Amino acid sequence: MKTFIQVKDAELSYGSKKVLDRLNLEIREGEVLAIIGPNGAGKSTLIDVILGLKKLDRGTVVRSLDDLKGAIGVQFQTPTFFPGLGAYDNVKLFAAVNGKAASREEIEEVLEQCHLQDAARTDAYRLSGGQQKRLAIAIALIHRPRLLILDEPTAALDPSARSEIKSMIASLAESGISVVFTSHDMSEVKRLADRIAFIMNGRVRAEGTLDELLASYGTDDLDELYALMLEKGRVRV
Amino acid sequence: MIRSVMALMAKSIYKDAYMLVWSILLPLGLFIGLGMYHDGASYRADLLVASMLLSLVMGAINTSGFWTMTQRRRGVFKLLKLSRLPISQFILCSILARLLMFVGIAALLLLAGFLLFDMRISAVGLMLVLALLIIGSVCFTSIGYAIASRARDEGMMNMMSTVVSFPMIFLSTGFYSLDQAPRWIQFLSKLNPFEYAVRIGRSAMAGAVDVPSLAILVAFAVVCAGIAIRTFRVE
Burial class (CB in 10 A: 0-12, 13-18, 19+), A70: middle
Q: Does B66 touch chain A (CB under 8 A)?
A: no
Q: Does A83 touch chain B (CB under 8 A)?
A: yes
* Count of the separate structural domains present in chain A: 2
- Does A20 map to a domain? yes
Chain-chain contact of B84 with A81 (C-beta, under 8 angstroms):
no
- Does A152 map to a domain? yes
Question: For residues B120 and B92, what is the distance between their CA atoms, to the nearest angstrom?
Answer: 32
- A205/chain B closest Cα distance in angstroms: 28
- Does A175 map to a domain? yes
* Count of the separate structural domains present in chain B: 1
Contacts of A89 in chain B (CB under 8 A): 8, 11-12
* pLDDT value for B235: 81
- Compare B86 and A58 and report the one with higher pLDDT: A58
Q: Does A148 touch chain B (CB under 8 A)?
A: no
* pLDDT value for A172: 86
- A52/chain B closest Cα distance in angstroms: 9
Mutation pick from B6, B8, B87, B93 vs chain A, by most beta carbons of A within 10 Å, is B8
Is residue A236 predicted with pLDDT exceeding 70?
Answer: no
Q: Does A92 touch chain B (CB under 8 A)?
A: yes
Same structural domain, A224 and A162? yes
Same structural domain, A91 and A135? yes
Q: Does A78 touch chain B (CB under 8 A)?
A: yes
* pLDDT value for A235: 46
- Does A43 map to a domain? yes
* pLDDT value for A233: 59
Chain-chain contact of A79 with B76 (C-beta, under 8 angstroms):
no
Chain-chain contact of A84 with B15 (C-beta, under 8 angstroms):
yes
Domain final position from A92, A111, A145? A145
Percent of chain A exceeding pLDDT 90 equals 54
Q: What are the strands, taking DSSP E only, across chain B? A: none
- Does A71 map to a domain? no
What is the Cβ-side half-sphere exposure of residue B132, based on CA atoms within 13 angstroms? 34
Domain final position from A109, A124, A145? A145
Contacting residues for B114 by C-beta, under 8 A, at least 6 apart? B120
Same structural domain, A22 and A90? no
* pLDDT value for A75: 92
Q: Identify residue B113 by its one-letter amino acid code.
A: G
Domain final position from A130, A145, A160? A145
Collapsing DSSP to helix, strand or coil, A103 comes out as coil
Same structural domain, A155 and A57? yes
Same structural domain, A59 and A111? no
Chain-chain contact of B5 with A93 (C-beta, under 8 angstroms):
yes
Q: Does B78 touch chain A (CB under 8 A)?
A: yes
Which tens digits make up the pLDDT trace of A112-147?
988 899 999 999 989 998 899 999 999 999 988 899
Q: pLDDT-based confidence at A237, cuts 50/70/90?
A: very low
What's the CATH number where A155 sits? 3.40.50.300
- Does A89 map to a domain? yes
Q: Which of A80, A84, A97 sits opposite B75 (nearest CB)?
A: A80
Same structural domain, A30 and A141? no
Domain limits for position B72: 2-231
Same structural domain, A55 and A170? yes
First to last CA, chain A: 19
Determine the residue of chain A that is closest to B78 in CA distance. A53
Q: pLDDT-based confidence at A33, cuts 50/70/90?
A: very high
Same structural domain, A51 and A157? yes
Chain-chain contact of A53 with B80 (C-beta, under 8 angstroms):
no
- Does A70 map to a domain? no
Q: What is the mean pLDDT of each run of 10 residues along chain B (235 residues)?
A: 85 83 91 91 93 94 89 88 87 88 94 94 95 96 93 90 94 93 94 97 95 97 93 86
Same structural domain, A130 and A220? no
Same structural domain, A124 and A153? no
Q: List B residues 132-191 in contact with A (Cβ-Cβ < 8 A).
A: none
Q: List B residues 28-57 in contact with A (Cβ-Cβ < 8 A).
A: none
Collapsing DSSP to helix, strand or coil, A207 comes out as strand
Q: Are A205 and A171 in contact (CB under 8 A)?
A: no
- Does A171 map to a domain? yes
Look up residue A84 and give its DSSP letter.
Answer: T
- B76/chain A closest Cα distance in angstroms: 6
Same structural domain, A153 and A221? yes
Same structural domain, A125 and A156? no
Domain limits for position A219: 3-65+147-232
Q: Does A222 touch chain B (CB under 8 A)?
A: no
